[in-house]
A = this chain, B = another copy of it.
Amino acid sequence: MIAPHFNTWQSVQDEVLRRIHIRAWPPGSAIPNEADLATEFGCARATVNRALRALAEAGILDRRRRAGTRVALHPVRKATLSIPLISAEVAARGQRHGYRLLARSEVCPPAPVRAQLGTGTRPLLHLLALHTADAAPYVVEDRWVNIAVVPEMRDIDLSVQTANEWLVANAPFTHGDIAFSAHAASAAEAQHLGIPIGAALFVVDRTTWNGAAPITAVRLAYAPGYRMQTAI
């Protein structure tokens, strides 16, 4: 009997997945340690490590020092979503992106925005814009910008360049959070999107920071029919 060899980390990963699927290694069970698998597969331990680490990142395996590696009992599959620029998103659908700045002001934000950004009662730059796809309303953007950390933005003509385009190029963020939900269209949203009040809208709320300094909070309300999709 000739032992099969798995030279690449991908082939090792495939073999591990195969054993999980045929239930040779059922959910919750421990699998051999890296050193043993490397011997069995005829490859270096680093190669096994690379394969198993990727599976752990995908939620298929649970790995803990000393405790070893187990097949995840409840495979918490992870879906990865790309967050592109809206213009790129529209272009990827084969449509033409349009953009219109609807309102711009510097005012003290309402309490929910203050709480989210932690900027207190300091005035922020408030922007309201409509994105279109082949001239049809696509998404309403309601954005607050912490102008104290990006004062250059005061001098930008935001009717030709979107706020997000300027920000990604000029004010990189270190971290942020993003939330997805469904909301009934407000009167203003309904008007801008050309839909009835109360229609179900897919809403994305995103807040970003640069270190401890909040940069921007944006709410995107998509026209009905929008789907955010990805593979798992």
Chain A contacts to B: CB under 8 angstroms: 17, 20-21, 27, 59, 73-85, 88, 168-169, 172, 174-184, 198-203, 206, 208, 210, 222, 224, 226-232
Contacts and interface: CB of A to CB of B under 8 A. Distances in A.
A181 B228 CA distance: 6
Nearest to A50: B50
27 contacts: A17-B174, A20-B172, A21-B172, A21-B210, A27-B168, A73-B169, A76-B83, A76-B88, A78-B82, A80-B80, A80-B81, A81-B81, A83-B232, A176-B231, A177-B230, A177-B232, A179-B227, A179-B228, A179-B229, A180-B180, A181-B227, A182-B183, A182-B202, A182-B224, A183-B200, A198-B200, A200-B201
Given A199-B184, A201-B200, A178 B79 contact: yes
Nearest to A46: B46
Contacts of A74: 84-85, 88, 168
Contacts of A201: 182, 200
Given A169-B27, A178-B229, A78 B76 contact: no
Nearest to A200: B200
From DSSP, what is the main secondary structure of chain A's interface residues? strand
Given A17-B174, A182-B202, 4 more contacts: A74-B85, A179-B229, A181-B202, A182-B226
B79 A80 contact: yes
B78 A81 contact: yes
Count this chain's copies in the assembly: 2
A132 to B, nearest CB: 19
Given A85-B74, A172-B20, A232 B80 contact: no
Contacts of A208: 232
A60 to B, nearest CB: 9
Contacts of A226: 181-182
A184 B183 CA distance: 10
Contacts of A232: 83, 175-178, 206, 208
- Which A-B residue pairs are the 7 nearest by beta carbons? A182-B182, A200-B200, A182-B202, A179-B229, A182-B200, A181-B227, A180-B228
A191 B202 CA distance: 22
Contacts of A177: 229-232
